[in-house]
Structure 1
Amino acid sequence: MGSLIGELEERQAAVRSRVAELEQEIAALTVRLEAERNRLERLTVTRETLDELAAEGVAVDAVVPPSVEVEPVGGGRVVGVQTVTVWREGRTSADLPPVYRDIVDVIDDAPDPVQAKQIVPRIGLPAQTSKIEGTRSKLKRLVERGWLAEERPGLFTSSARRTVSGSPP
C-alpha cells in the first residue's frame, strides 16, 4: 500500500507543478490582455475624436508643406493620415487617397472650372457648410501639390497637371 500512496503523491506533485506553470502563464497573459485593452481603448477614443472632427468639417488630413514631396511608406498604407503626393508625369488619380481621387475625377469630368459647393454633392456628401469648407481645403491641398489649378479664387480645374511649379512637364 505504501507504493500506491507514493504514486499518488508523485502525481499530485506533478499536477501542482503544472497548475503553478499555468497560473504563471495566465498572469502573464492577463498583463498582456490588459495592455491590449488599454491600447484598443486609446485607438477607439482617437477614432471617435477624428470622426467627430470630420463631421464638423475639420480637415484631419496630414498637413505637409507644398515644398515637401510625400511618399507613402510601407506599400502605400498610411494609418491615421491621408497623404497627397506631388503630381508628376505618369501619376493618375489612382495614386491619391479615395476622397481626393473622387474630387480629382469630378473635376476631370467637368467641362468648366468647378466650385467646392458643386463638388460636394457629386462625391456623395451633404451640401453643408462644413462639408463644403472641408472639400475646399482638400482642393487647395491638391492645388499645392500640382494636381489641380485654381483658375480664379474658388474655381478649380485640372489644367495644373500641364505644368508643375510653373515649369513645363
Structure 2
Amino acid sequence: MTGGELTLGAVLARLEEREREISAQAEAMREQITQLTARLDELDRAAEEVRITRKTLLGLPDPQPSAPPAPKLPDHPAYQQITAVFNAADHPLRARQVCEAMDLPVAPNNINNVRLKLKRLADRGILAETEPGLFTRPRPQSPGNQPYRARAR
C-alpha cells in the first residue's frame, strides 16, 4: 500500500467518526423536535382556550341597558293628585279632564295651571304628551322596541 491509499482500519475509523457525527446531529434534532413539540402543544392549548372563551362569550345573553332612575315627582300635592288621576285613567287626558277628575272648578286659570303642571311632568318623563295638549302615562319601552311611526305616503 502506498501513502495515498487508505487502509481498512482508517476507512472504518472514518466511518465510525462519521456515524458519531450523524448520531450527534440526530440527537440534537430529536431534542429540537421535543422542544418544538412541547411548544406546539402549548400553542394548541392556548388556541383551544381562546376558542372556548369566544364560544362562551357568544353564548351569553346581550346585556340589558340599566334602567334610568325613576323621575322624581315634584313635592307639591297637586302633582300627586295629577299622577293619581293618570294612574286611574285608561286613556289620554287633557288639562280640562284632569281638572274635572280633581274636582277643581273648570275655570281658565285652573286649566292653565294644570296644563303647566302636566307639561312639567311630561318634561320629567313622568307623563307623555302624545299630541299637543293630550297627556298619558308613558308606555315602557322594551329594548329594540321603537315607537310606531306611520310611513309617509
> TM-score, with normalisation over the residues of structure 1?
0.39
TM (norm. structure 2) is 0.43
Rg larger in structure: 2
